[in-house]
Structure 1
Amino acid sequence: MGNPLKRAQSPRNLCAQVVHELGNRILAGDFEPGQPLPQETTLCDQLGVSRTVVREAIKSLSAKGLVQSRAKLGTLVQPARGWNYLDPEVLQWQLQADTSGRQLFHLTEFRRTIEPAAAALAAERASDEELQDIADACDDMRRNADDVDAFLVADLRFHTLILHATGNPFFAPVANAISVALESSLRVTNRQPADNRTSVPVHQKVMKAIVARKPNAAQAAMRALLNDAASRIDRASKKT
């Protein structure tokens, strides 16, 4: 049976697949921090790709903070504290490797720190168009409460729109992390339409406070929403 990477046609696709393969293995602990990756020629043989593809993949992993190439030492896996946790791929690999649920807890904790402040800023700074987009996303959640996948899409849009409506560009990369965290969270807590229906009023409260330009109320409503999400995750984890 041939290597699946060999079936890809373009070098760009091949590089993305190698990045995905190695990133997953690093986050899964196949390569420990301080340990070198296999030599370039070995990776070429194992993955069935050219040296050019391997080198480009290593550059991508280095940009994510996962590895660093050093003369005479090879390409070393870096300590976890240097990884770019706001990179969507790194987050996804980490969530896939996490069997304890600890990573989802950390991401939810991060959201509880960031999103209430974002809601308050959005209430102060959002344009009329941004307010309408947030309201529309919330309404899409209501209308699609019985469709788990469509609800997820609307919920993701609702939260990322609020982050962008802060007017602060530093919230943009955070929106990527929020999207990955929220998608993972909802797949744990909102597996049934009934779960979606009960969460709609909580989101509506956030939306109404932002649209009314009430920063304190928006912050409190978002904090309550995330506290509810954390409780749902805790309950769901105890059932598994």
Structure 2
Amino acid sequence: MPSTTTPRLGAHRTPAARLGVQVVHDLVSAIVTGEVAPGDLLPTETELCENFGVSRTVIRESMKRLEEKGMVSVVQGRGTQIAPQSEWNILDKVVLGTMIENDETLGILDELAVVRGQLESSIAAAAAGARSDDELLIIHGHLDTMHATAEQREAFAAADVAFHFAVMDVAGDRLASGIARSLSKRAGESSRYYGAPGPDAVRLTLDEHQRVYDAIEAGDAEAAAREMRDHIALAWERRRIRD
């Protein structure tokens, strides 16, 4: 028999324009952290209105957003039930961001690095077989910017991302690139993703990007895939904060 759990939420107040956003974020957080578990029923609409101090319209819109994220389902005659994690839209900005935010073990970021490595290795291989001289100039331009901003953390990180996205543009694999971009953006929004890279991180990152570029320029798909996969794994290993 599913239980009905009232999340300990809504104690703070936010501007009216952001109430719905805050309600969704707080409920997603409650689901992600297990405060409400799969199979549990959310409180009634009236209880949620009182809990968050918002109108029924805000709660109803928030429930629609949660349904779109695959986190709840409406069970006729019983209420709104928490869906199993297998049904969540993991690539959703709020869902993935909240999972990263609440994952003390960094397990989600570990998984993200593996998936990124797999996707971007295939993307790099495709780019090696499709690149034109003009496209190589664009990719190398981002590499040049990385060198020029080696001592400017934010600018260097932006050029790093631009390098990866340029490779995706060359590959032309819309689905793989779209997923990879989404993962990269969600991870980049968390300070935990940047961790503690160490004093040699910039030099090692530049060396790895150069090897990726060289393989793409040479049209060596196998090498491009290997170098990209190794770079993503090694970069995360350098940044990951240990217990």
State TM-score, norm by structure 1: 0.84
Using the TM superposition, name which of 46-55 and 159-168 deviates more. 159-168
Match of 2:56 among 44, 51, 57: 51
Structure 1: which amino acid aligns with 2:80? Answer: T
How many residue pairs were aligned?
A: 232
Are the counterparts in 2 of residues 160 and 178 from structure 1 also a CA contact under 8 Å? no
Q: Is 1:17 aligned with 2:22?
A: yes
Are the counterparts in 1 of residues 138 and 166 from structure 2 also a CA contact under 8 Å? yes
The residue that corresponds to 1:187 in the other structure is: 194
Match of 1:4 among 9, 13, 28: 13
Mapped partners of 1:92, 1:109: distance in 2 = 17
Mapped partners of 1:133, 1:16: distance in 2 = 38
Are the counterparts in 2 of residues 23 and 93 from structure 1 also a CA contact under 8 Å? yes
Are the counterparts in 2 of residues 148 and 193 from structure 1 also a CA contact under 8 Å? no
The residue that corresponds to 1:163 in the other structure is: 168
Distance 1:174 1:230, change over 3 A: closer
More helix by share: 1
Q: Is 1:42 aligned with 2:51?
A: no
Structure 1: which amino acid aligns with 2:13? Answer: P
Are the counterparts in 1 of residues 116 and 180 from structure 2 also a CA contact under 8 Å? no
Mapped partners of 1:83, 1:99: distance in 2 = 20
Q: Is 1:69 aligned with 2:74?
A: yes
Mapped partners of 1:134, 1:173: distance in 2 = 20
Match of 1:227 among 223, 229, 233: 233
CA RMSD, 1 decimal: 2.5
Mapped partners of 1:133, 1:20: distance in 2 = 38
The percentage of aligned residue pairs carrying the same residue is 35
Are the counterparts in 1 of residues 20 and 62 from structure 2 also a CA contact under 8 Å? yes
Are the counterparts in 1 of residues 114 and 233 from structure 2 also a CA contact under 8 Å? no
Structure 2: which amino acid aligns with 1:140? Answer: T
The residue that corresponds to 1:178 in the other structure is: 184
Structure 2: which amino acid aligns with 1:198? Answer: L
Mapped partners of 1:63, 1:129: distance in 2 = 41
Which whole-Å deviations, capped at 9, do the CAs of 1:103-138 have from their partners, x for residues lacking one?
111111212221111111122234555444332322
Which whole-Å deviations, capped at 9, do the CAs of 1:135-178 have from their partners, x for residues lacking one?
23222222222122222222222223323432122121332013
Using the TM superposition, name which of 78-87 and 207-216 deviates more. 207-216
Q: Is 1:213 aligned with 2:219?
A: yes
Using the TM superposition, name which of 72-81 and 151-160 deviates more. 151-160
Structure 1: which amino acid aligns with 2:207? Answer: P
The residue that corresponds to 1:143 in the other structure is: 148
Mapped partners of 1:38, 1:65: distance in 2 = 18
Structure 2: which amino acid aligns with 1:187? Answer: Y
Structure 2: which amino acid aligns with 1:72? Answer: G
Structure 2: which amino acid aligns with 1:97? Answer: N
State TM-score, norm by structure 2: 0.83
Q: Is 1:28 aligned with 2:33?
A: yes
Mapped partners of 1:157, 1:219: distance in 2 = 18
The residue that corresponds to 1:115 in the other structure is: 120
The residue that corresponds to 2:6 in the other structure is: none
> What is the Cα deviation at residue 34 of structure 1?
0.9
Q: Which has the larger radius of gyration?
A: 2
Mapped partners of 2:138, 2:62: distance in 1 = 37
Structure 2: which amino acid aligns with 1:3? Answer: H
